[in-house]
């Protein structure tokens, strides 16, 4: 059983530097993970694939997404679904950093370190 509700604030969560120009923070539930990425102009772009479906919501800034052979540009409020196994990457357009919120279900084991601060919020089976 999950403990009582606990309030967190994105500004206070531990942040991880992924590579030049990219940082991220995470928050999870029992079966879902949210990751907030900050992409800064001049960042190192990293085309990659993974076995997870990824939902992306652009919070601030303007971004160019490459998904396979397609390229799409988005701004605040834009949503995109990245199917499993599709090579993709993102980079800011212009001088403003981008905040993008990624949602993964189920929780990615390789991202559990981002939410270790929440370990006391869940029983040992989640």
pLDDT for 58 equals 98
Q: Which CATH class is domain 31-121?
A: mainly beta
Residues in contact with 4: Cβ distance below 8 Å, sequence separation at least 6, in sequence order: none
Question: Looking at residues 109-120, what average pLDDT do you find?
Answer: 94
Confidence of residue 5 (pLDDT cuts 50, 70, 90): confident
Half-sphere exposure of 56 (CA within 13 A, CB side): 27
| Domain ranges (residues) in the chain | 31-121
The per-residue pLDDT for range 39-64, each reduced to its tens digit, is 999 999 999 999 989 999 999 999 99
pLDDT for 1 equals 46
């Amino acid at each position: 059983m999950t403990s009582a509700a606990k309030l967190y604030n994105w500004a206070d969560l531990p942040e991880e530097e992924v590579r030049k120009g990219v940082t991220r923070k995470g928050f999870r539930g029992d079966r879902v993970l949210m990751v907030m990425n900050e992409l800064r102009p001049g960042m190192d772009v990293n085309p990659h694939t993974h076995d997870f479906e990824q939902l992306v919501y652009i919070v601030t800034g303007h971004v160019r997404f490459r998904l396979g052979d397609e390229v799409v540009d988005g701004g605040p409020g834009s949503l995109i679904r990245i199917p499993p196994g599709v090579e993709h990457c993102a980079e800011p357009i212009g001088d403003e950093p981008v905040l993008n919120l990624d949602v993964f279900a189920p929780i990615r084991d390789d991202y559990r370190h981002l939410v270790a601060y929440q370990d006391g919020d869940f029983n040992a089976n989640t």
